[in-house]
Amino acid sequence: MAMINVARPPPPIAGSFYSISRFSGLPVGIWPQRQRGCGKQLLCVFSFLVILMGAVGEILYGVLNLSNLVSALEAFCPGCTKAVCVLKLCHFFWSQPHWYALKQRVRQQLWSSQDAAAQRILQRSSRAAHRFSLLLFVSGMTTNTFFNALPLIKALYRYIYGLEGQVELPFNIILPGFATQPRWFPLTYLLLFASGACTVFTFSCVDGFFLCSCMYISGVFNVIQQDIRETFLPLIKVDRATGGMNFVVQQRLADIVERHNAIIDLCTDLTRQITVIVLMHFLSAAFVLCSTILDIMLNSSSLSGLTYISYSVAAMTQLFLYCYGGNHVSESILSTTGSYITLLKTFL
C-alpha cells in the first residue's frame, strides 16, 4: 500500500473523513485504529455486554408473552435490532486490522487527488455521506430517547395526579427479580439506557462506515472519469498526435489504470467484509419494520405510537443508506466503464 505524503497538507475532505462514524465508534470502542489500549477494549466489552443483555432479555420477553401481541412486538423490535448490533460490534472488533487497513486505503485514494476539480467532486460525495450518517445517528438517538423518556413521563403523570405508582422500564425485558427492587432500580434503568445508547452508537458507526466508504469510492470513480476525459482532451484538438503527446497520454493512462485497479480491489475487500452484516441486517429489518408498523396500528397510546414512528424512521434510514451507498458505487463503475468505451470508439 502506498504511503500518504505527510509533507503535503491534508485536502479539504480531511475534516469530514468518516466524521460521524468515528464519533459513533469511539464511545463503544470499535473505531478502527492502529493501536487499541486497554480503555478501548473495556469500552467494547461493556458495550457488548449491555447490548447482549438487552437483546437476550427483550427477545425472551417477546417469546414468553406472545399472548399479548402488543407487548411482545414492543419487545421483539428493539431486541432484534440489538441482536444484529451484537453481530456488527463483534465483527468490527475481531476484524479491526482489516477495517483499519481498508480505511487507510480509502484515505490514500482521497489524499492522492489534490487538484481543485477532483476535491470538489470528492467533497460532494463526502457531504452526502456526512448528512445521511448524521440523519441515521439522530433518528436512532431520538428513538432511544423516546424509549427511555416514556416511563419517566408516565411516572410523573401518576405522581401529579396521585395515582398508584408502577415499576416500568424503558424496554419490555426479562431481568432477575432483584433488578427491579428499589435499591437496584436506578442502576437497572441506567444500564438499559446504556444498552439503547450503545446500540445506536454501534449501528451508526458500522452503517455509517459502509455508507462513507461507498460514497468515497464513488467519488474516486468520478475523479477517474474526469481524468480520462482530461487525458484525451489534447488528442481531440489535433489532427495527428506527436510522439511526445502519445507518451504523455500513455503515462497518464497507466496511472489511471493503476488507480482504477486499486479502487476495484478496495470494492472487493469491502464487499467481502460487509456481506454477512448486510445479509443479517436486511433479514432482521424486514421483520422489524413489519412488526413496528403492526405495533403502531395496534397500540392505543399516542406516546408509544410516536416512539415507534421514530423507530420506523430509523429502521428505514438504515435500509436506505445500504441501498443508496451500494447503488452509487454500482452506477460509478458502469459510468467509468462507459467512459473507457466511448474513448475507444472515438480513437479506434
pLDDT at 118: 81
Q: Is the pLDDT of residue 1 over 80?
A: no
Extract the C-alpha cell encoding 140.
436512532
Is residue 45 a part of any domain in this protein? yes
Classify residue 293 as exposed, middle or buried by CB count within 10 Å of its CB (0-12, 13-18, 19+): middle
d(CA 134, CA 215): 14
Tell me the residue range of the domain where 184 lies: 20-347
**φ, ψ for residue 162 (rounded to 5)?**
65, 30
Is residue 77 a part of any domain in this protein? yes
pLDDT at 3: 45
pLDDT tens readout for residues 85-119: 999 999 888 888 899 999 998 888 888 877 778 88
Q: Which band of pLDDT confidence, cut at 50, 70 and 90, is reported for residue 300?
A: low
Is residue 2 a part of any domain in this protein? no
Residues 6+ apart with CB under 8 A from 167: 180, 185
Q: What is the mean pLDDT of the chain?
A: 82
With cell 469500552, the residue in question is 43
Extract the C-alpha cell encoding 176.
432477575
Is residue 156 a part of any domain in this protein? yes
Is residue 342 a part of any domain in this protein? yes
d(CA 163, CA 158): 5
Q: According to the per-residue pLDDT averaged within each range, which of 68-72, 86-90, 123-127 is highest?
A: 86-90
pTM: 0.86
Is residue 11 a part of any domain in this protein? no
For a pLDDT cut of 90, what percent of the chain falls above it? 22
pLDDT at 248: 77
Extract the C-alpha cell encoding 33.
485504529
Residue 323's Cβ-side half-sphere holds a number of Cα atoms within 13 Å equal to 7
pLDDT at 315: 81
Residue 344's Cβ-side half-sphere holds a number of Cα atoms within 13 Å equal to 6
pLDDT (average), residues 28-57: 90
For a pLDDT cut of 70, what percent of the chain falls above it? 88
Is residue 4 a part of any domain in this protein? no
For residues 2 and 108, the answer to whether their CB atoms sit within 8 Å is yes
**CA end-to-end span of the chain, whole Å?**
35
Residues 6+ apart with CB under 8 A from 195: 50, 51, 53, 54, 82, 171
Give me the amino acid identity at 154: K
The more confident residue out of 297 and 216 is 216
d(CA 191, CA 58): 14
Interhelix angle 116-160/185-236, nearest 10 degrees = 160
Secondary structure tally for the chain: helices H, strands E: 8, 0
Q: How many domains does the chain have?
A: 1
d(CA 285, CA 196): 17
pLDDT at 6: 46
Extract the C-alpha cell encoding 250.
500513455
Is residue 14 a part of any domain in this protein? no
d(CA 124, CA 122): 5
Q: Which band of pLDDT confidence, cut at 50, 70 and 90, is reported for residue 163?
A: confident
